[in-house]
């Protein structure tokens, strides 16, 4: 678990040997969180670490639709990720596959749940891995830090969008 002195941080748990669960609470309505997470024009503003530029190559938000994001570093390095949407239930749930193109064949099933309570939204993400080695490899790659930074960036964008 990442520990900071901030009040609202990304929390990580391990429900099973093959799962990593992440959560974060945002002080905005669920519909806004869902909208920002599913708008291809807004995703590049929060998805991934600050030091990389994210481009949405494809984002067909429907069951069976594909997505592909490409991240570029200041040194020209490129990292691409893609998947297929399995389930989309606005504004409560998205299930998709996630695959890093640098390691083909290691497919993760991602589930995002958007839960609202008194105007706040708890975003819960669960990644289900094929093997313990895949889970451990993702953890070693910096997944926790990357997800936490993405959630910080999402918070900043949500506050900006909320004030519009």
Rounded-to-integer distance, Cα 79 and Cα 54, Å: 9
- Do you know the residue count of the chain? 164
Q: Is residue 91 reached through a cis peptide bond, with omega within 30 degrees of 0 on the bond before it?
A: yes
Digitized pLDDT (tens) for each residue of the chain, 164 residues in all: 333 334 577 899 999 999 999 999 999 999 999 999 999 999 999 999 999 999 999 999 999 999 999 999 999 999 999 999 999 999 999 999 999 999 999 999 999 999 999 999 999 999 999 999 999 999 998 888 989 999 999 999 999 999 88
pTM of the model: 0.92
User: Please, what are the domains in the chain?
Assistant: 11-162 (3.30.530.20)
């Amino acid at each position: 678990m990442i520990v900071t002195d901030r009040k609202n941080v990304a929390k990580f748990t391990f429900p099973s040997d093959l799962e990593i669960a992440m959560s974060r609470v945002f002080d905005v309505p669920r519909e806004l969180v869902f909208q920002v997470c599913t708008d291809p024009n807004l995703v590049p503003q929060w998805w991934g670490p600050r030091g990389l530029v994210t481009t949405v190559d494809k984002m067909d938000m429907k069951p069976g639709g594909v997505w592909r994001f490409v991240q570029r570093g200041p040194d020209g390095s490129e990292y691409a990720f893609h998947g297929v949407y399995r389930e989309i239930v606005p504004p409560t749930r998205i299930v998709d596959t996630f695959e890093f193109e640098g390691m083909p064949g290691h497919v993760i099933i991602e589930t995002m749940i958007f839960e609202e309570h008194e105007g706040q939204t708890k975003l819960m993400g669960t990644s289900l891995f094929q093997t313990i080695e895949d889970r451990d490899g993702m953890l070693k790659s910096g997944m926790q830090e990357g997800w936490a930074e993405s959630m910080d960036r999402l918070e900043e964008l949500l506050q900006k969008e909320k004030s519009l």
